[in-house]
Chain A
């Protein structure tokens, strides 16, 4: 088992990983930028190494610096969290070269699944249903448009190297295709340095349902249930829950099997998520696979009792999976609300500032994952997520009540947050009825004057 792990991340996920290490008796090394010296993760870890100026590109994304920190501190493994370097094949290989374990899948799996169009091909070969779309990526707008004409509009234009909603545009008709393709391609080149694009059929109003999988280095893979992440603003998730109120048991079973199949086809070990789109007729299609721990992992932990981060560490150290599929039991319903430093009244504009008042809810079935503390100043350089409030209750209705109660107790003063907005959303009739599309419409209307 490792003695020391370096956490190559910040914010609440870094705190989450540090906590898992503390519980396993593993020493922790935090890396921080100059802006994050007083951040919770830097204070909680046993050691702290400053790796650069505030800008992520010069600190958290600086592979040489992070690797140097690992080497100098004597860490045997690096946990990359999510975002930043978590799906960076080059970084994973660099760690390998230096004899440091990258706590995640193999660089080959990351590469295979990171290239979206290659991932589709792997899935097709494995017999996993995929969204009807182009076989291979292209940089040619005309080729893409010809394909779109063939499968029929509306279509989704996507970047092969894409993720996080970037490099994606929905084209409703032939008239707008060329312009949207150009915009999406430009965004792809800027964000990922890769202009290869592909086109898929757009499934309007489809449900975004993902399955958590865990694999070990011996080739065993289990699935830990689904998460419904349909509620999104501009492809950013806001509320996640498990199990999905929309999915029928039969579909759930099939999807679970497909997810395990997908993971095995990718030669996958560690924690990962297989994302699907499900249409109104319960037809499901592989969308993409995320080769990292995800923001919304706590809802799965709530209903299964499995500590996913600890499992990642154990798997990386060479231990077999702690559970067989038959030993995974699901209990109750869990919901997560993401609390961000965004102003819903002003186009969800991100805010920074000092936390002058903080009260976090607690109690039976309530979990808060956050890096906030009284007097903390939220820096403006990073993503705006402040906290995740997770509730777990025997039924969905009870979970909603619990979330309302928890959000009602939550106090964050000093910066503008979306907490009140989430409070209203969770208490809405639409949410009670699990009408996710209606909620997404509300979110769209909230954002004024948006253009694609």
Chain B
């Protein structure tokens, strides 16, 4: 091997920058990494490749290597979909309480409100998509996994009722682990409340388009997510009711390939179309225009 035969001239002595000590031991190389500014890189959950954050942002928050979508916060979602500066928030301060006196629940809510800037797990309001005004909502995976409690239920119901009054179509980006455990029966009741609001809305001729994103599970799937006139979903989104493990253990059988993926659901008739993020705006605009 040539490598072993080469002689290496001495490296110039360093001015002590402190990095010399850092680099001395192999265990210390991790201390060098903080040079990378926070958030400059991220890892794709699917293909595991390291990605430049700007590339992810420029690619609709999808992995530039494998195309898998990253989860996005509600405001970004709405901005990506609606016309520039068209979004106006409704019911911004609507907050829930603690009906079951669940321990530490209120503290948790406060923390999340401070962290996400959201009052609860959904953002609602009005916007325009290629000039067509709509009532729009988007759920937040960062806020207790988008779980639906009273605040989410009430805010969505008000969105639908106001859309009915103002004759606006409803577009809803669903993202949720299901009903919020901390609010018990109150959470479950939201399923009925929203479904009734949608029923009335539909009877009055309203167009409702839910877009199922990763993940959409539990009580949300069992209520408003599946009640759309046209049901869209993002590629690869996990959509289901009970968790796969629970199902597997209950029925004692292996689950089919791709179970609970958007593609699986589409094949079995549960959703109408899978829409990639860069085509979402165009598809929604088409549906809005076609329905008059």
Contacts and interface: CB of A to CB of B under 8 A. Distances in A.
Interface of A: 1, 3, 22-27, 40, 43-44, 46, 63-65, 68, 71-72, 74, 90, 94, 97-100, 373
B131 interface: no
Contacts of B32: 71-72, 74
Interface in B23-52: 23, 29, 32-33, 35-37, 40-41, 49-52
A98 B2 CA distance: 34
A100 B37 CA distance: 12
Nearest to B5: A43
Given A44-B6, A71-B33, A98-B35, A26 B52 contact: no
Contacts of A99: 35
Contacts of B35: 71, 98-100
B29 A26 contact: no
A68 B22 CA distance: 17
A94 B29 CA distance: 20
Given A64-B41, A74-B29, A1 B12 contact: yes
Contacts of A25: 9-12
B23 A74 contact: yes
B8 A64 contact: no
B2 A40 contact: yes
Given A44-B6, A94-B52, A98-B40, 9 more contacts: A3-B11, A43-B1, A68-B50, A72-B32, A74-B22, A97-B36, A99-B35, A100-B35, A373-B2
A23 B10 CA distance: 10
B3 interface: yes
B246 interface: no
A64 B51 contact: yes
B114 interface: no
17 contacts: A3-B11, A3-B20, A25-B11, A26-B11, A43-B3, A44-B2, A44-B6, A64-B50, A64-B51, A65-B50, A72-B33, A74-B19, A74-B29, A97-B40, A98-B35, A98-B37, A100-B35
Contacts of A26: 11-12
Interface residues of B, number: 26
Main secondary structure of the interface of A (DSSP, over half): helix
A46 B8 contact: yes
A94 B32 CA distance: 16
B52 A63 contact: yes
Contacts of B22: 74
Contacts of B6: 43-44
Contacts of B9: 22-23, 25
A72 B29 contact: yes
Contacts of A71: 32-33, 35-36
A25 to B, nearest CB: 4
Nearest to A376: B2
Interface in B44-63: 49-52
A25 B19 CA distance: 18
A15 B33 CA distance: 28
Contacts of A44: 2-3, 6
A1 B15 CA distance: 9
9 closest pairs, A vs B, by CB? A25-B12, A43-B3, A74-B23, A64-B50, A27-B11, A43-B2, A3-B14, A99-B35, A98-B36
A63 B23 CA distance: 23
Interface in B134-186: none
Interface in B192-243: none
A331 to B, nearest CB: 29
B29 A64 contact: no
A290 B110 CA distance: 56
Nearest to B8: A46
A8 to B, nearest CB: 16
A72 B26 CA distance: 10
A99 B50 CA distance: 19
Nearest to B11: A27
A62 to B, nearest CB: 9
Contacts of A24: 12
A258 to B, nearest CB: 37
A21 B49 CA distance: 32
Contacts of B8: 22, 46
Contacts of A90: 52
B37 A97 contact: yes
Contacts of A98: 35-37, 40
A97 B40 CA distance: 8
Nearest to B51: A64
Nearest to A99: B35
B54 to A, nearest CB: 8
Contacts of B40: 94, 97-98
Contacts of A94: 40, 52
Contact of A64 (B11, B19, B49): B49
Contacts of B41: 64
A43 B11 CA distance: 17
Contacts of B51: 64
Nearest to B29: A72
Contacts of B36: 71, 97-98
Contacts of A63: 52
Interface in B75-133: none
A34 to B, nearest CB: 16
B1 to A, nearest CB: 7
Nearest to B12: A25
Nearest to A374: B2
A283 B9 CA distance: 49
Contacts of A23: 9
B52 A64 contact: yes
A254 to B, nearest CB: 42
Nearest to B41: A64
A97 B39 CA distance: 11
A22 B37 CA distance: 31
A43 B1 CA distance: 8
Nearest to B1: A43
Nearest to B54: A90
A274 B23 CA distance: 40
Contacts of B29: 72, 74
Contacts of B50: 64-65, 68
- The CB with the most chain B CB atoms within 10 A, among A25, A27, A74, A90, is that of A74
A91 to B, nearest CB: 10
A98 to B, nearest CB: 5
Nearest to B50: A64
B1 A3 contact: no
Nearest to A100: B35
Contacts of A100: 35
A90 B36 CA distance: 15
A65 B49 CA distance: 10
